[in-house]
């Protein structure tokens, strides 16, 4: 049945009234989905990375530092900081474990991040410039690990025990490594190589509009409004940024106008779906068509006629954060961003903290979960929804400015290219959580960037299939995950008072 159907109140009461302690029964519910899925992927991996591997070396260049001395210093400092952080987190973790108390969810995540940073800093300290992997050997090793993990998961399922979470995580990482080595080794050159730093930095850059888009989705869905119009918000944001920045000669005005444009799309969405109670999904879809037509029309009539005065916005250039930008690998990825990129980090943090730690967030989530309850404690449901939808639109609009102020410095027809929909998928993949959506968007950005890099070096796979990758990944993500995540209960349901 539809996953969006809200369980009737009575049923939820029933779930609530029963004690959660009956863990013994949980074993009866272990699904075969995980085991079979991993098994199929492991076989696929074996065929690709093992059987179809060639005997070339796959090269991964570590980004070369602009200032080696500064870079080394930064690497050492980062190494020290990361070491200290890892040690502290490990201590915390162990301490919690020993007390028998629950480990806060952020601790393992932060520990993992610290270790990754540690490793990258170590690479910088070692001044390693390039890693070359023999594709055949790595391919077979990865295949073996994948098959072993899948076998373990299936074994656990036969024992009616769920596979622990690390199995999936390790599987994903190993699969990714195997895939990268295989695909890079398949390049045209005799010793093909790609820039690892470029791959990662590009991923973050490509993820920028996705992150803004999915944050817009988070703000809207958390308050109970499905926002399909992200695509339109991005597009109008891009258009408006280009035109306003050109006309005023100031890219910052362009940036602001992008936010306003996104909010404008939201305004229509809000009026029609909240005030006039039209199905939210329908309004979103129609708005996307409207914005696409409108911007294309204006582009064809006005912008192409006089690009000099209407479609030459200039650029928001990347800004280095002193010192931090010099850290090898990490620096160029995180601290060599445009203003829009930094705004993205800020937006993720603000939305996350806002939603889960402030009065505003509490009310927003209440409206999205149970609008009647919110109404009975004096919260104006539709006003809250209206406000959030506008905010979401503004955020997506700013994300749209990425296309015309950062990525390319001119507007062109339908230049958002469906990223609004991928942002929507990132939101679901990220389980309606700003941080989750951010990470999911990074994943999609990675797929997107990998695709374009591979196309450049040439690949064993036809380019059209590489181009499919982000979309196929989205389908797999959405199909594989939805069963485990639950949208805000009132999402998509208009609120009729009285």
Partner 1 sequence: MKLELRGITKRFGSLVANDHIDLVVEPGQVHCLLGENGAGKSTLMNVLYGLYDPTEGEILIDGKPVVFKDPGQAMAAGIGMVHQHFMLIPVFTVAENVALGNETTKTGGFLDVEATRRRIRQISDQYGFDVDPDAMVEDLPVGVQQRVEIIKALVRDAEILILDEPTAVLTPQETDELLDIIRQLKRDGKSIVFISHKLREVKEISDIITVIRRGKVVGQAEPTASTTELASAMVGRAVRLTLEKGAPRTGDVTFKVRNLTVVNPNGQRVVDGLSFDIAKGEVLAIAGVQGNGQTELTEAILGVQPHASGSVTLDGEELLGRSVKQVLGAGVGFVPEDRTVHGLVGTFSISENMILDLYDKAPFASGLGMKPSVISENAAKKVEEFDVRTPSVTAAVGTLSGGNQQKVVLARELSRPLRLFIASQPTRGLDVGSIEFVHKRVIAERDHGTPVMIVSTELDEVVQLADRIAVLYRGRLVGIVPATTSRDVLGLMMAGVPAEEAEASVKAHAGTNPHAVPEAAGREGESDV
Partner 2 sequence: MSEKTTPEPAAPAGKHAAKEPAADSPMQASPVEDVASGVVIDTAGGNIPPSAVPSSSQSGSIRPGPGDSLLRQIFTGNAMVSLLSVVLAIVLGGILMAVTNPKVAATAGYFFAQPGDLLTEVFRPYAALVQGSIFNWAGTDTAAQLYPITETLTVSTPLICAGLGVALAFRAGLFNIGAQGQIIFGALFGAYIGFTWHLPVGLHLLVVIVAGLIGGAVWGGVVGLLKARTGAHEVIVTIMLNYIANFLLLFLLTTPAFQRKGSTNPISPFLDQNALFPELLGPQFRLHAGFLVAVLATAFVWWLLNRSTVGFEFRAVGANASAAQTAGINVARSTILVMAIAGALAGLAGITQVSGTEKYLSGGVAASIGFDAITVALLGRSTPWGTFFAGLLFGAFRAGGVAMQAQTQTPIDIVLVIQSLIVLFIAAPPLVRAIFGLNPRKKKPTQGGTAGSKASGVKSGAAA
Task: Please give the backbone phi and psi of residue 63, each rounded to the nearest 5 degrees, phi first.
Answer: -55, 135
Task: Please give the backbone phi and psi of residue 133, each rounded to the nearest 5 degrees, phi first.
Answer: -115, 130
Instruction: Identify the bridge partners of residue 320 per DSSP, sorted by sequence position.
Output: 336
Give residues with Cβ within 8 angstroms of 298, minimum separation 6.
239
38 binds partner 2 (CB under 8 A): no
- Smallest gap, in angstroms, from Cβ of residue 353 to partner 1? 8
5 binds partner 2 (CB under 8 A): yes
Residues 197-256 that bind partner 2 (CB under 8 A): 228
- Smallest gap, in angstroms, from Cβ of residue 243 to partner 2? 13
221 binds partner 1 (CB under 8 A): no
Pick 4 or 159: Cβ nearer partner 2: 4
Residues 92-121 that bind partner 2 (CB under 8 A): none
25 binds partner 2 (CB under 8 A): no
Give residues with Cβ within 8 angstroms of 49, minimum separation 6.
138, 139, 140, 142, 143, 178, 179, 181, 182
- Do residues 343 and 422 make contact, with C-beta atoms less than 8 angstroms apart? no
Among 271, 285, 286, 379, binds partner 1 (CB under 8 A): 379
Q: Any idea of the CA torsion for 487, 489, 495, 498, to the nearest 10 degrees?
A: 180
Residues 305-334 that bind partner 2 (CB under 8 A): 305
336 binds partner 1 (CB under 8 A): no
Residues 21-40 that bind partner 1 (CB under 8 A): 22-23, 25-29
Among 27, 158, 159, 279, binds partner 2 (CB under 8 A): 279
Cα 402 off chain centre by: 16
- Smallest gap, in angstroms, from Cβ of residue 477 to partner 2? 9
Pick 71 or 157: Cβ nearer partner 2: 157
- Do residues 254 and 404 make contact, with C-beta atoms less than 8 angstroms apart? yes
Determine how β-strand 57-61 pairs with β-strand 193-195.
Answer: parallel
CA distances from 239 to 53, 215, 296, 317, 347 (A): 45, 20, 10, 19, 21
In sign, the C-alpha dihedral spanning 214, 220, 221, 223 is: positive
- The piece of 370-378, 419-427, 439-447, 468-476 that touches partner 1 (CB under 8 A) is 370-378
403 binds partner 2 (CB under 8 A): no
Among 112, 173, 373, 476, binds partner 1 (CB under 8 A): 373
283 binds partner 2 (CB under 8 A): yes
Pick 29 or 276: Cβ nearer partner 1: 29
Q: Which residues bind partner 1 (CB under 8 A)?
A: 8-20, 22-23, 25-29, 357-360, 362-363, 365-366, 369-370, 372-380, 489, 497-498
């Amino acid at each position: 049945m539809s996953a969006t159907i809200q369980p009737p109140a009575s049923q939820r009461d029933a779930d609530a009234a029963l004690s959660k302690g009956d863990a013994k029964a949980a074993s009866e519910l272990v699904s075969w989905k995980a085991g079979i899925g991993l098994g199929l992927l492991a076989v696929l991996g074996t065929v690709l990375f093992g059987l179809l591997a060639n005997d070339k070396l796959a090269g991964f260049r570590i980004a070369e530092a602009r200032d080696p001395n500064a870079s080394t210093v930064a690497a050492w400092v980062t190494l020290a900081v990361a070491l200290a952080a890892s040690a502290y987190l490990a201590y915390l973790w162990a301490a919690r474990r020993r007390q028998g108390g629950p480990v806060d969810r952020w601790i393992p995540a932060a520990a993992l991040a610290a270790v990754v940073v540690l490793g990258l800093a170590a690479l910088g300290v070692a001044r390693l410039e390039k890693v070359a992997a023999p594709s055949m050997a790595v391919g077979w090793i990865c295949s073996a690990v994948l098959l072993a993990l899948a076998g373990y998961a299936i074994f656990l399922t036969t024992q009616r025990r769920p596979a622990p979470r690390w199995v999936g995580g390790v599987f994903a990482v190993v699969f990714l490594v195997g895939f990268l080595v295989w695909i890079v080794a398949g390049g045209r050159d005799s010793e093909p190589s790609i820039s690892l730093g470029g791959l990662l930095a590009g991923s973050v850059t490509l993820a920028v509009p996705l992150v803004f888009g999915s944050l817009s989705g988070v703000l809207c869905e958390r308050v109970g409004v499905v926002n399909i119009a992200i695509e339109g918000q991005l597009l109008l944001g891009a258009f408006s940024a280009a035109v306003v920045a050109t006309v005023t000669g100031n890219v910052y005005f362009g940036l602001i106008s992008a936010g306003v444009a996104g909010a404008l799309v939201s305004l229509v969405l809000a009026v029609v779906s909240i005030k006039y109670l039209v199905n939210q999904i329908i309004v979103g879809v129609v708005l996307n068509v409207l914005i696409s037509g409108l911007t294309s029309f204006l582009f064809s009539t006005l912008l192409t006629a006089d690009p000099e005065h209407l479609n030459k916005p200039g650029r928001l250039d990347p800004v280095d954060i002193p010192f931090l930008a010099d850290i090898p690998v990490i620096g160029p990825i995180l601290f060599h961003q445009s203003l829009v990129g930094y705004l993205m980090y800020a937006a993720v943090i603000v939305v996350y903290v806002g939603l889960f730690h402030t009065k505003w967030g509490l009310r927003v989530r209440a409206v999205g979960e149970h609008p009647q309850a919110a109404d009975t404690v004096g919260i104006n449901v539709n006003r809250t929804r209206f406000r959030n939808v506008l905010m979401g639109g503004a955020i997506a609009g700013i994300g749209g400015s990425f296309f015309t102020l950062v990525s390319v410095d001119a507007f062109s027809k339908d230049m958002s290219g469906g990223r609004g929909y991928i942002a929507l998928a990132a939101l679901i993949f990220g389980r309606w959580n700003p941080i989750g959506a951010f990470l999911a968007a990074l994943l999609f950005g990675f797929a997107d960037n990998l695709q374009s890099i591979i196309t450049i070096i040439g690949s064993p796979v036809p380019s059209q299939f590489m181009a499919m990758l982000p979309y196929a990944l989205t389908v797999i993500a959405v199909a594989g995950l939805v069963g485990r995540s639950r949208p805000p209960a009132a999402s998509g349901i208009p609120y009729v008072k009285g």
